[in-house]
Structure formats: structure tokens, C-alpha cells
């Protein structure tokens, strides 16, 4: 009887010690799924960066194949899959050599998730877009008038023109061109040696 109680206590301790691990696991998985992945065209030309979650979906749907892995493994209910670092589309996608679509995602990517007033780097969910010239003052939603902005700077600037405040832009906002996209790919790729041969280092 003594041994049985001890085994029961031991199991209880294992459960209590294991509980925090299960609670932390989704956080680690979430961070892993946000890891940047380089996307290559079928011709091996680098064309985009996406989150690991999107890359895995493309691979599982048979639209892309992994070219490089980042060393991590994702375990799901029925599958264990190595997380890709570089994927290649199986069908060639024509990429027009013109400005990308104007969107919140592309503005944040262009500005590298950095508030263009105070320089703080934040997650996408902690940033907003600011009209340099407020819409109420005649400003339009264009590449040249939209910048990534933290909520604090957004409240501080309010409905004012920059000349009416002591705030300044880190750099002049410009359209997101193919050149800009390649530059960002190379900047992010510096932290992942597996990207280098695809980015012409």
C-alpha cells in the first residue's frame, strides 16, 4: 500500500511539474510559425518572404517544396515536419516588375516593423499606419504618405502636420519596388546563412 501511494504521489508531481511545459508550448510554437522563410520562384529567383506557417501550408498543398530547413521540427497530431528556411514554388509565377500592392503588410515590411518617428521595432500587432499628412488635412493613402507608427507616436502626432510638431521621419517614405524587396530580403537573410546562395552574396 505504501508503494502504491508513493507511485500516486510521484504521478501527481509529474503532472504538476509538466503543466507549465504544456502551457509554454503554444508560445514557442507560435514564435516558430512566425519565423521568416525565403520564397523562391520555380526558377530559383527570390521573390518574397513569408512566415513559416504560410510556407508549411504551401508545402503541404503541393504548391512548393522545401529547399533548406531551419533545424526545428514541428509536431502536430498526425505529422512531424521540419520547418523550412527556404521554399521553392513548383510552378513559375510571373512577378511584374512594378510597385507592390499598397497594403498594411507591405508598408510594415518596407519599414521593417520600425516606427518611422521614434525608431522602436515592434511586432505587426503593436504597430499602426500613420498618414504623414492626415487625411483630414488633405493627405491620401499612398506609399509616400503612409508609414509604420507605434501607437504612442500616433497619439502624439494626432491630426497635426509634421511642421506643427517636433517629430521627424527616420527616412522619406517611398514606393515598395522590386529593388526595395530584394534589399529587405538581403537584410533579413544576413541572419540565416542558408539564404545567402539564393540572394547572390
Instruction: Outline where DSSP puts E strands in 52-192.
Output: 64-75, 80-89, 127-131, 146-150
The pTM score is 0.60
Q: Quick one: 117 exposed, middle or buried, by C-beta within 10 A (0-12, 13-18, 19+)?
A: buried
Q: What is the DSSP string of 35-90?
A: SEEEEE-TTS-EEEEEEHHHHHHHHHTTSEEEEEEEEEEEE-SS-EEEEEEEEEES
pLDDT value for 24:
45
pLDDT value for 146:
97
pLDDT value for 13:
40
Domain made up of 104-164: CATH architecture:
Orthogonal Bundle (1.10)
pLDDT value for 27:
67
In contact, 146 and 124? CB cutoff 8 Å: no
pLDDT value for 153:
97
**Which residue stretches of the chain have pLDDT < 70?**
1-27, 76-77, 96-99, 201
Q: Where are the domains of the chain?
A: 34-97+179-198, 104-164
For residue 132, give the nearest of 181, 170, 100 by alpha carbon. 170
User: What distance in Å separates the CA atoms of residue 67 and residue 201, rounded to the nearest whole number?
Assistant: 17
Amino acid at each position: 500500500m505504501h508503494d502504491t501511494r508513493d507511485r500516486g504521489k510521484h504521478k501527481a508531481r509529474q503532472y504538476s511539474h509538466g503543466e507549465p511545459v504544456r502551457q509554454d508550448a503554444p508560445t514557442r510554437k507560435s514564435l516558430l510559425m512566425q519565423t521568416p522563410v525565403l520564397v523562391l520562384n520555380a526558377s530559383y529567383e527570390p521573390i518574397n518572404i513569408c512566415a513559416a506557417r504560410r510556407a508549411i501550408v504551401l508545402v503541404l498543398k503541393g504548391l512548393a517544396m522545401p529547399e533548406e530547413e531551419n533545424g526545428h521540427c514541428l509536431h502536430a497530431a498526425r505529422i512531424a515536419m521540419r520547418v523550412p528556411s527556404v521554399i521553392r514554388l513548383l510552378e513559375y509565377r510571373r512577378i511584374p516588375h512594378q510597385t507592390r500592392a499598397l497594403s498594411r503588410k507591405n508598408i510594415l515590411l518596407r519599414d521593417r516593423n520600425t516606427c518611422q518617428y521614434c525608431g522602436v521595432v515592434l511586432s505587426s500587432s503593436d504597430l499602426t499606419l500613420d498618414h504623414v499628412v492626415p487625411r483630414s488635412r488633405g493627405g491620401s493613402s499612398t506609399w509616400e504618405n503612409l508609414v509604420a507608427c507605434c501607437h504612442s507616436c500616433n497619439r502624439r502626432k494626432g491630426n497635426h502636420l509634421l511642421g506643427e510638431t517636433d517629430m521627424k521621419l527616420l527616412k522619406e517614405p517611398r514606393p515598395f519596388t522590386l529593388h526595395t524587396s530584394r534589399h529587405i530580403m538581403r537584410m533579413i537573410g544576413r541572419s540565416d546563412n542558408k539564404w545567402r546562395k539564393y540572394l547572390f552574396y
